[in-house]
Structure 1
Amino acid sequence: MDKRDRADIFRKRLSDAMDVSGLSRSHLARLTHVDRSTIGQLLNKTSPRLPNGQLVADLAATLSVSIDWLLGLTNRPESPGDIIAGAMALSPAERTVADAQLLDWHQEATGYKIRHVPATLPDILKTERVLNWEYPSFENQNSTQMVDSIHPQLNWLQTRQSDYEIAIPLHELEACARGISYYADLDEDIRREQLQFIAQTCRDMFPRLRLFLFNARRVFSAPITIFGPKLAVIYVGQCYLAFREADRVNSLTDHFDWLVREAEIDARHVAEHIENLID
């Protein structure tokens, strides 16, 4: 970029930042320890000029904008730290809090496709008896409260306000069917009821609800949920790592779509596959 072009961008952005902050030339000069005439020269339309590095830094700090933005190197006026803080946040994943947070995120994404990779079976498709078996393993948690917190999510799903895609590994359903691994101490009738519920719900709600099964020996995913183009969340145990910056959301969306393309059981056939596991 030509030096005069950059100086012109600097002048315009300095003026815009002063308007937003409500600072006059005199006030800005005092805060940055320069003469008022120096600020006037930087704002001169006929012969704009660039200040030295020290003054650029002082102006950016005083006006709460980034140096890169003032110099035309980015279109984001926020400082890098503010951009990161706005694009990524940690949300507690305690069960009672996280369920309420997840419902809020679901409602925020109404009208958009939601993509989900759960840690085990999807909470939203778990039966009451499975939830009663599973949630007491968390300290200081009331299983009845946990079950009640899932109902609004299922009710939201049944309103069919958004398309919902879920991808889980084949071995998760197989383990549930056989009563091994995570499900080793879960009674057979509870496991059968759970699988029947998933199969019937997938059949009843297709194509708005689509469940894909992938082979974890070929592809892998951490637990994630992508709420349309607005938000992507990674579950990391005690917290959710939430991204709102478009590039990060798009990258995780591409990752989920890759899981769907690589799925060995398509959503059209998943109910039949689960019923075969039960038999």
Structure 2
Amino acid sequence: MDKRIRADLFRKRLLEAMLQKDVTRSGLSRETKVDRSTIGQLLKDDHPRLPNSQLAADVAIALGVSTDWLLGLTNRPETPGDIVAAALSLSPAERTSADEQILEWHHEAAGYKVRHVPATLPDILKTERMLDWEYASVRERKSPEAFSAIQDQLEWLSSSVSDYEIAIPIHEIEACAAGTAYYKGVEKNIRFEQLNFIADQCDQMFPRLRIFLFDAHQVFSSPVTIFGPNLAVVYVGQCYLAFRENERVKSLSGHFDWLVREAVIDARNVPSYIRSLMEE
């Protein structure tokens, strides 16, 4: 960028930041410990000038913006730390689906497609008795609270506010049917009630609700939820990693597209496949 163009851009952005922060020339000169005339020189539109590195940094700190933005090196006015904090945040993950953060994210995504890879079976489709079994070992049992929250999410889904796509490894459904792995010790009637409920919801809410089954021997995914185009959340156990930077969300959306393309059971065939497992 030509020095004169950069100087003019600096002047415009400096003025914009001062107006945004409601800072006067006198106030900025006090904050940066320079003469008011020095600030005036930076704001002259007939002969704009660039500050030295020390003054540029002091002005940026005083106005809460980045030096790179003032100098035209980026279009993001936030400081690097603020950009990182906005693009990636860490939230504690509650054991219960009633976690207010999850509900807030769902409402934030109203009108957008929600795409979800669960850690086990999708919470939004779990029965009350399955939740009772899951929460039996938790010191403070929260299954009634969790079930109430799930009912709220199901009503939200049934209201056609958003489409919901779920990708599940096929071994999760098979383990639930057989009572193995994670579902070892769960009574057969609880497991079959759970699977029937998932199959029935798939039938009743298709295409608003679409479930795809993929083979984890061929493709893999960590638990992740993409809430529309602006937010993607990865579940890592005790916390969520929430991404809001556009390119990261697009990358995780592309990952979900890959799971759908590689699905061994398409959404239309999932209910019949689930029922066939129970028959076997």
**How would you bin the TM-score normalised by the shorter chain?**
over 0.9
User: Once the 2 structures are TM-superposed, how far is the Cα of residue 77 of structure 1 from its aligned partner?
Assistant: 0.6
Q: Pairwise CA RMSD of aligned residues? A: 1.4
TM-score by length of 2: 0.96
In the alignment, what sits opposite 1:72?
Answer: 72
Unaligned 5+ runs, structure 2? none
Deviation sequence 1:101-127 (CA, Å, 0-9, x none): 222221221111000000000011111
1:183 paired residue number: 183
1:77-121: CA deviations, max 9, x gaps? Answer: 110111111222222211347533222221221111000000000
Instruction: Report whether the alignment pairs 1:51 with 2:64.
Output: no
Which residue in the other structure is 1:11 paired with?
Answer: 11
| In structure 2, distance between residues paired with 1:97 and 1:39 | 54
Q: Which amino acid aligns with 2:89?
A: A
Following superposition of structure 1 onto structure 2, how do residues 98-247 of structure 1 map, counting pairs within 5 Å?
99-247=99-247
Query: Aligned partners of 2:159 and 2:221: how far apart in 1?
Result: 28
| CA 141–90 in structure 1, closer or farther in 2 if over 3 Å, else same | farther
Is contact 2:214-2:264 (8 Å) kept? Answer: yes
Structure 1 residue 19, shift from structure 2 partner: 1.1
- Residue 13 of structure 1 aligns to which amino acid in structure 2? R
Name the residue aligned to 1:260: 260
List per-residue Cα deviations over 1:2-27 (Å, max 9, x = no partner): 11111111011011111112222122
8 A contact 2:25–2:39 mirrored in 1: yes
Counterpart position of 1:29: 29
Residues 146 and 97 of structure 1, relative CA distance in 2, 3 Å threshold: closer
Residue number in structure 1 paired with 2:277: 277
Counterpart CA distance in 2 for 1:8 and 1:104 is: 43
CA contact (8 A) 1:99 1:150 kept: no
The reply on whether 1:93 has 2:93 as its aligned counterpart is yes
Residue 143 of structure 1, CA deviation: 2.6
Q: Deviations over 1:221-241 (max 9, x none)?
A: 111111111211111111111
Divergent runs of 4+, >4 A: none
Q: TM-score, normalised by structure 1?
A: 0.96
Distance in structure 1 (CA, Å) of the matches to 2:69 and 2:226: 30
Matched-pair contact (CA < 8 Å) for 2:179–2:186: yes
Q: For residue 67 of structure 1, report the CA deviation from its aligned partner.
A: 0.5
Native 8 Å contact 1:132 1:147 kept in 2:
no
Q: How many angstroms does 1:50 deviate by? A: 0.9
Matched length: 279
The more displaced of 100-109 and 115-124 is 100-109
